[in-house]
């Protein structure tokens, strides 16, 4: 019989996913420090992390702290295939799977005791199956809430399993640093530290109103609830993305306006193709920036009608980039991201006069077909010919909304 208060939610998270795939496919890399990506670290093996390599460190800095590291170019098609194989294991474990990204998911195994065993037994078997069938290490956290299951998997890394029984939740949670709370990044952590708050237990002891005055009403009440492990969110199945985006990090290498425009062109090409591949359209174009001092800025514009048309999205992204160029010139830039939000299914969108749903769509679809058959480099834009923005980004599966809380 399923008890609602038992630890029944699994957070399964592949360990150093890109680097682990490279080590799986090349035995010479196993047990050695591996860095995926040359200009910017996209992933690092735990052997490289032990030397202080992290994501998204610049490739130059990574090689400085770990000169013996082996640098490999990313192979996104291999990562997508590995992700599909892992998600097949998830779906054979339980029908209640909520994908968070290409390498992690929540699984609700409540009610499976009679057919599959206890949540702990299921978690042990899942890790064993991923290792045997896909050849990758995976860490699993098991708890009563999604939040605590995610915290448990983070604490158990790498290649571990941690179960938090309901009666031990507070004892496990409260000694942890505030950075473990979902939504606490460097800025929020600094505010809490300056106020003398360093542990989750200290957050729990504070009045919710005091936190709201320090961090804002939404963030304050959110963190107060999590510090008491109050997280009523269920595992959602078949939940679709609220946005689709892509980003490019390039360290502190100076970029001209032309360089940045070429990067934006490549990102928009990639995103619009993913939109059409998933039969989605969106109304809001979002430009995200990270500056040399690690501060961030976001600019967005909402269109009158939803679209997946490359030129429409690109024109809007170019306008947003032009508006923010003075800020980039002043503060330097280390990352550019583009996303499309306010998504809907393309068949659900009311056509705008003069009923031009297929305006330029035939060209987009023809190019999509060529790239699918012959690779992303088969047809490209002239502005990208001299750009290093030439990685192969295949269409990714749509496992669910990307987890951006941490």
CATH of the domain at 319: 3.30.1490.100
What is the span of the domain harbouring residue 222?
Answer: 174-227
Position 205 pLDDT exceeds 60: yes
| Domain stop point among 163, 189, 208 | 163
Give per-residue pLDDT as tens, 341-361. 888 877 655 544 444 444 455
Residues 131 and 72 in one domain: yes
Give per-residue pLDDT as tens, 295-315. 788 899 999 889 999 999 999
Assign 3-class secondary structure to the chain: CCCCCCCCEEEEEECCHHHHHHHHHCHHHCCCCEEECCCECCEECHHHHCCCCCCCCEHHHHHHHCCCCEEECCCHHHHHHHHHHHHHHHHHHCCCEEEEECCEEEEECCCCHHHHCCHHHHHHHHHHHHHHHCCCCEEEEEECCHHHHHHHHHHHCCCCEEECCHHHHHHHHCCCEHHHCCCCCHHHHHHHHHCCCCEHHHHHHCCHHHHHHHHCHHHHHHHHHHHCCCCCCCCCCCCCCCEEEEEEECCCCCCCHHHHHHHHHHHHHHHHHHHHHCCEEEEEEEEEEECCCCCEEEEEEEEEEEECCHHHHHHHHHHHHHHHHHHHHHHCCCEEEEEEEEEEEHHHCCCCCCCCCCCCHHHHHHHHHHHHHHCCCCCCCHHHCCCCCCCCCCCCCCCCCCCCCC
pLDDT, averaged across the chain: 84
Residues 128 and 152 in one domain: yes
What pLDDT does 126 receive?
Answer: 96
Residue 194 pLDDT class (50, 70, 90 cuts): very high
Question: How many structural domains is the chain composed of?
Answer: 3
| Domain stop point among 143, 163, 183 | 163
Residues 289 and 318 in one domain: yes
**Would residue 121 count as lying in a domain?**
yes
Residues 144 and 291 in one domain: no
Percentage of the chain modeled with pLDDT above 70: 83
Q: Which of 104, 133, 311, 329 is catalytic?
A: 104
What pLDDT does 357 receive?
Answer: 42
Residues 223 and 131 in one domain: no
Residues 376 and 267 in one domain: yes
**Would residue 237 count as lying in a domain?**
no
Give per-residue pLDDT as tens, 138-181. 999 999 999 999 999 999 999 999 999 999 999 999 999 999 99
Residues 250 and 295 in one domain: yes
Give per-residue pLDDT as tens, 237-265. 876 667 788 888 777 778 899 999 999 99
**Would residue 1 count as lying in a domain?**
no
Residue 394 pLDDT class (50, 70, 90 cuts): very low
What pLDDT does 13 receive?
Answer: 96
Percentage of the chain modeled with pLDDT above 90: 60
Residues 52 and 81 in one domain: yes
Residues 376 and 269 in one domain: yes
Question: Is 169 labeled as catalytic in the residue annotation?
Answer: no
CATH of the domain at 203: 1.10.150.20
Position 367 pLDDT exceeds 70: no
Residues 268 and 378 in one domain: yes
Residues 16 and 51 in one domain: yes
**Would residue 253 count as lying in a domain?**
yes
Residues 198 and 335 in one domain: no
């Amino acid at each position: 019989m399923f008890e609602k208060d038992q630890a029944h939610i699994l957070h399964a998270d592949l360990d150093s996913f890109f680097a682990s795939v490279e080590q799986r496919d090349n035995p010479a890399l196993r047990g050695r420090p591996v860095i995926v990506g040359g200009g910017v670290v996209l992933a690092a093996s735990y052997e490289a992390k032990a030397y202080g390599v992290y994501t998204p460190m610049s490739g130059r800095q990574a090689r400085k702290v770990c000169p013996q590291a082996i640098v490999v170019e990313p192979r996104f098609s291999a990562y997508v295939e590995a992700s599909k194989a892992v998600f097949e294991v998830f779906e054979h474990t339980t029908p209640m799977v909520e994908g968070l990204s290409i390498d992690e998911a929540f699984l609700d195994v409540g009610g499976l005791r009679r057919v599959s065993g206890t949540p702990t037994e299921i978690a042990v078997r899942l890790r064993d199956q991923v290792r045997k069938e896909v050849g990758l290490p995976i860490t699993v956290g098991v708890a009563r809430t999604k939040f605590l299951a995610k915290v448990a998997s983070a604490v158990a890394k790498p290649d571990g399993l941690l179960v938090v029984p309901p009666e031990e939740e507070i004892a496990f949670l409260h000694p942890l640093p505030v950075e473990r709370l979902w939504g606490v990044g460097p800025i929020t952590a600094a505010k809490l530290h300056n106020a003398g708050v360093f542990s989750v237990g200290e957050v729990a002891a504070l009045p919710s109103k005091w936190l709201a005055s320090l961090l804002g009403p939404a963030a304050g009440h959110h963190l107060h609830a999590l510090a008491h492990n109050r997280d009523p969110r269920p595992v959602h199945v078949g939940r679709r993305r609220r946005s689709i985006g892509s980003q490019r990090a390039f360290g502190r290498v100076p970029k001209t306006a032309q360089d940045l425009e070429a990067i934006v062109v490549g990102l928009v090409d990639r995103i619009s193709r993913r939109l059409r591949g998933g039969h989605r359209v969106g109304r809001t174009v979002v430009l995200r920036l990270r500056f040399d001092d690690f501060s961030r800025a976001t600019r967005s514009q909402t269109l009158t009608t939803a679209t997946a048309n490359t030129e429409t999205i690109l024109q809007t992204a170019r306008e947003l980039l032009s508006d923010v160029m003075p800020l980039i010139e002043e503060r330097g830039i280390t990352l550019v991201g583009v996303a499309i939000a306010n998504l809907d299914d393309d068949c659900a969108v009311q056509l705008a006069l003069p009923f031009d749903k297929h305006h330029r769509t035939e060209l987009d679809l023809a190019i999509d077909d060529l790239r699918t058959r012959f690779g992303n480099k088969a047809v490209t834009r002239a502005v990208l010919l001299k750009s290093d923005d030439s990685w192969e980004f295949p269409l990714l599966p749509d496992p669910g909304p990307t987890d951006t809380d941490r």
